[in-house]
Structure 1
Amino acid sequence: MATKGTPPVSEVTGYEARNEEHRALYQSYIGYCNAHNFKAMESFYTSPININDEPWAPSKVTAQFKPLIAAFPDWHWEIRNLTIEGDYLALHLRVTGTHRGTFRGIEPTGCRMTTSQFTLYHVVDGKFADVWDLVDTDSVIKQIEQGKAVL
């Protein structure tokens, strides 16, 4: 029997099971992201998916990654923190890559960069329905511009 303020064991088990499902969903997704498998990535999104409160087609989401991967072919996301609350996943990611293609008008420098990304996902029926994303792009530009100065 649960005490006041403590959910029954079956309810806790249900929360834990859902959290593990969400964790597994994200682990699978990040694997496809790091493999740069855009088609597989699209299968994780509702249609439309809301990106920063704007509805997008799944293909538009993955299209934004193509120039990024062209500029940083080894672009990689590493999970630093994953917190799950209900159907929301909050992530702090470490992002790395080597500048091998033009990025925002800056020619390749060969510079290795590291930055942070913070993303909040809302899961509906096993797919990402809403995403709020913040990447420290200024840090990326600063690092590759410093690499350019060294060349």
Structure 2
Amino acid sequence: MTPDELRWWFEDWLDACNRHDLDRLRELLAPDVRRAGAPGGADAWLRDLEDLLRAFPDYRWKRIALVVEDDRIAAHLRTRGTHRGEFRGVRPTGRHVGVAAFGFFRVVRGRVTEFAGSDDDAGLLAQLA
């Protein structure tokens, strides 16, 4: 993919995230996607995302900066949402939370094959305490 195609790909990814469209996200993930520090595979990634969205049903991601090089994307995002469901053992607080997120994606033939990024869980949990 060209750098422009990767930028458009990421806009599609971000749109699917913000619509909470897990079916579309599955299409954008390689079935055996590797995630640094987390269980691999699209199913595990989507389960983690489902947990997040169940707890924060209005969760949104906003692009701050995007860098594309070869088949890789580096993204700086700002996230926000309201704690309405249990999250990692914490009962709903109604608190509005937001964290900075950084993600590094390797995209091959339109699918994420590798991902490394910041762990939102720690930042979210700190705001729920």
TM (norm. structure 2) is: 0.91
Structure 2: gaps (5+ residues): none
Q: Which has the higher contact order (CA 8 A, sep 6+)?
A: 2
> 3-state SS of the aligned residue for 1:61?
helix
Which of 74, 77, 89 in structure 2 is aligned with 1:90? Answer: 74
Deviation at 1:137, TM superposition (A): 2.6
Write out aligned runs for 1:101-120 (5 A).
101-120=85-104
Report the Cα distance in structure 2 between the residues aligned to 1:20 and 1:144, rounded to whole angstroms: 39
Aligned sequence identity (%) = 28
Partner of 1:10: none
Partner of 2:50: 66
Deviations 1:2-59 (A, max 9, x none): xxxxxxxxxxxxxxx8111000001001111111111110101122111117773322
Q: Is the contact made by 1:96 and 1:113 (CA closer than 8 Å) also made in structure 2?
A: yes
After superposition, the CA RMSD in angstroms is 1.7
Partner of 1:31: 15
Partner of 1:41: 25
Structure 1 stretches (4+) deviating beyond 6 angstroms? none
Deviation at 1:107, TM superposition (A): 1.1
Deviation at 1:70, TM superposition (A): 0.8
Larger radius of gyration: 1
Which of 101, 107, 110 in structure 2 is aligned with 1:123? Answer: 107
Report the Cα distance in structure 2 between the residues aligned to 1:23 and 1:91, rounded to whole angstroms: 10
Deviation at 1:123, TM superposition (A): 1.3
Partner of 1:12: none
Report the Cα distance in structure 2 between the residues aligned to 1:132 and 1:48, rounded to whole angstroms: 14
Report the Cα distance in structure 2 between the residues aligned to 1:126 and 1:67, rounded to whole angstroms: 25
Structure 1: gaps (5+ residues): 1-16, 146-151
What number of residue pairs does the alignment pair up?
129
Q: Is the contact made by 1:53 and 1:130 (CA closer than 8 Å) also made in structure 2?
A: no
TM (norm. structure 1) is: 0.79
